[in-house]
Homo-oligomer: A and B are copies of this chain.
Amino acid sequence: MSSLIHRRKTRPVFVGGVQIGGEAPVVVQSMTSSDTRDVRATVEQIRELEEAGCEIVRVAVPDEAAAAAIREIRSLIRIPLIADIHFRHQLALLAMNHGADGIRINPGNISPDGIREIVRMARANGKVIRIGINAGSLEKEIFIRHGGATAEALVESALKNIRLLEEMDFDAIKLSLKSSAVATTIEAYRLAAGKTDYPLHLGVTEAGTLVQAAIKSAIGIGTLLYDGIGDTIRVSVTGHPVQEIGVAYGILRALNIRNVGPDIIACPTCGRCEIDLAKLAQRVEGELKGMKSPLKIALMGCVVNGPGEAAEADIGIAGGRGSGILFKKGKVVRKIREEEFVPVLMAEIAKMAAE
């Protein structure tokens, strides 16, 4: 954790064996895009997510068959599973019966009575509930009174539903306040952070395909994390969910909150660059896919500036025409030929990662 970030104190909750809030590290989660009823496809996707570093997974539960599938899915995966419930509270009850570790409800489309039934079962079985406020499906009365899904409206809905759970002596609560508008998202979480100490699940919803989703999520989630707000994060990407994990750890790494996986420092190249640095960077990224060691690896286009500019890197290459320099922590190790760049770098990285 960066010394600059003073993290907001929250009360811890446990989703299966995973702590969220309190002193726990910021937890990375994702959601499957498979049909939950297709157990094989869903388990395959969750295993890919686990491999990439996902720590909690959520699945959609649109009907009884999806709820029932949770039992088998749960037995075949290692990380806790959350059931995502809309409209019908009965599906939450079924999902918990079938082993879901937690429930995400959208109070915009479940009645207070339905929520109370969910709470009763969650309380009896030690399950966690996320109150998942969404700008697109806010309670009508609140939406109208605020003249739209403003940050204040999202927070009012959240606090109202927190009270409903608290009145039943239930406090295994997480909270999210998502909007597809980044500025509204930031403002809503800031307001909520000042009014409640439940752990916050951060995310920008409907963020789009990879690059634009990375931008929106990095600003929305990153700005809040930099202010010490946020206990678990979910990046939304339209596409295979494993992409979400790469973006999530990228955000955490950029702020020194959790350093998982290599940080590749590569110059944008300019008229001084004499090698195809973009190709080199892509090859190195490909070779390092799945590595969890937090090495800083520099790929620089210029022998003169490279080693100095990337002195903070654990290891790096500065490329010139036909040959380059291997350096560690800003110190030149030796000259290497261009065709050796990738194999030499990989061998050195493997050694360093093993240490």
A residues lining the B interface (CB < 8 Å): 2, 4, 31-37, 42, 59-62, 66, 84, 86, 134-137, 149, 180-183, 186-187, 205-212, 214-216, 218-220, 222-223, 226, 236-241, 244, 246-247, 250-251, 254-256, 264-273, 277-278, 281-282, 285, 298-300, 305, 308-312
Contact = CB atoms under 8 A, between A and B. Distances in A.
Given A180-B312, A183-B4, A219-B255, A238 B267 contact: yes
A143 to B, nearest CB: 9
17 contacts: A33-B268, A33-B270, A33-B271, A34-B271, A135-B312, A136-B308, A136-B310, A136-B312, A180-B310, A206-B298, A206-B300, A208-B264, A214-B218, A218-B218, A219-B255, A236-B267, A238-B267
Contacts of A2: 183
A215 B214 contact: yes
Chain A interface mostly:
mixed
A281 B208 contact: yes
A240 B269 CA distance: 9
A311 B136 contact: yes
B312 A254 contact: no
B183 A272 contact: no
Contacts of A298: 206
A136 B316 CA distance: 14
Given A62-B271, A206-B268, A240-B278, 16 more contacts: A4-B183, A31-B270, A32-B271, A33-B268, A84-B270, A86-B305, A183-B226, A183-B254, A208-B281, A209-B264, A209-B281, A209-B285, A216-B218, A222-B222, A238-B267, A238-B277
A55 B237 CA distance: 30
Nearest to A148: B312
Contact of A272 (B60, B244, B264, B305): B60
Nearest to A267: B206
A250 B219 CA distance: 10
A271 B186 contact: no
A8 B4 CA distance: 22
Contacts of A180: 265, 310, 312
A268 B250 contact: no
